[in-house]
Amino acid sequence: MANFPLKHLLLRSLVSVGVAIATAFVVALAVTIVDLYLVGHGYPSINREVLLWPGGGVSLSPAGILLLLCSFGAGGATWFFMRRPSGSAAAPPRSAPDRQPAGRKRARPPEGGSQ
């Protein structure tokens, strides 16, 4: 299995990107609901730009900053927690030892044969 690290890297990347996109959708819905509530009660919108950089084409609102932070955070956490466990990738899985449940003893064969 020489290509296992490549497969794991691809799977890890796809899952991380998927989680980041799903998080973006959920946060976008939550921000929309909160913004509708705030604007409906006379407060300023959280979609108004507060971070402007016209030369770079950047204009971010508090809602956009929250969306980016949550998406990158969820994707990064997924990437981190999907790392390979320590040890060799080709190591065989450990088998459970053959044990009797606590308090039970194995039955002994009768001594001296049949009587």
- State pLDDT tens for residues 27-49: 999 999 999 999 999 999 998 88
| Three-point CA angle 48, 53, 57, nearest 5° | 90
Dump the DSSP string for 64-79. Answer: HHHHHHHHHHHHHHHH
- What does the pLDDT look like over 58-112, one tens digit per residue? 889 999 999 999 999 999 999 999 887 665 455 555 565 656 566 666 667 677 7
